[in-house]
Amino acid sequence: MNARHFLVQAVAPSWPVIARERWQQAFPAGQPGHWLELQQTVAAGDMVWVPVMLDDWRLKVAALLQSQPDCQVIVLSSVPDQVEGLRALNAGARGYCHLLAAPGLLQEVAQVVSLGGLWVGPDLVQRLMAATRELLQRSPDAVRPAIDLSVLSERELQVAHAVAEGQSNREVAEQLHITERTVKAHLGAVFEKLGLRDRVQLVLHLAQVKSYA
């Protein structure tokens, strides 16, 4: 059964019409609505997209997940930054992306989250990677992860390392002189071969591998 999608509309002058239009292009069957309306509708398995312009958005996200822990929340920001992204994750969100993201990217975010993954921006991925390295340095007796990079092709390994450095698909494509679609295909193969769900897990695992190199 496919997840239902809900977009929480904020009552604010800064709410751009194009944001709703792009979201509806991504999810034609999705239901935009105000917080009080959607709060009574959301059920287990649903995906709720919450803009940071919503008053007390962090408290509302936490309250929603407390009452309906099996729904999935993605926070939308007009000016994404690391601190705000961490606040979203701390509130229980499974994703954090730009409010004006293209429909195709929104669908990609939804796919990753629906599979149990986590979607955050490259800057936050870098921060998580740095934190992981620091933790591993403090814990030299940590168990080495069961990850075998030898199962990857040379190109897949190049893509994996580039993504782990925080590069976007477009940046990886430019660096390796391939298309973004090819990057996505290689990244999908990397996830499948290594048994990973998303970019964050990839970053954390490669950081652990480097710590034992």
CB atoms within 10 A of CB 27: 21
**Contact, 50 vs 61, CB < 8 A?**
yes
Give the mean model confidence (pLDDT) for residues 55-75: 92
The pLDDT, as a whole number, for residue 144 is 52
CB distance 44 to 18 below 8 Å: no
Tell whether the model's pLDDT for residue 61 goes beyond 90.
yes
Q: What is the mean pLDDT of the segment spanning 135-160?
A: 75
Is residue 97 a contact partner of residue 119, using CB atoms and an 8 Å limit? yes
Amino acid identity at 10: A
Average model confidence (pLDDT) across the chain:
83
Q: Is the dihedral of CA 60, 64, 72, 118 positive or negative?
A: positive
Q: How far apart are CA 68 and CA 91, in angstroms?
A: 14
**C-beta neighbour count of 103 within 10 angstroms:** 15
Over 70: is that where the pLDDT of 193 sits? Answer: yes
- 109-112 own/partner pairs: CB under 8 Å, 24+ apart: 109/74, 110/3, 110/5, 110/26, 110/27, 110/47, 110/74, 112/197, 112/198
pLDDT in tens, 40-57: 889 999 999 999 988 899
Q: Kindly report the CA angle at 2 between 190 and 87, in degrees rounded to 5?
A: 65
Q: Considering only 86-95, 145-154, 174-183, which range has the smallest mean pLDDT?
A: 145-154
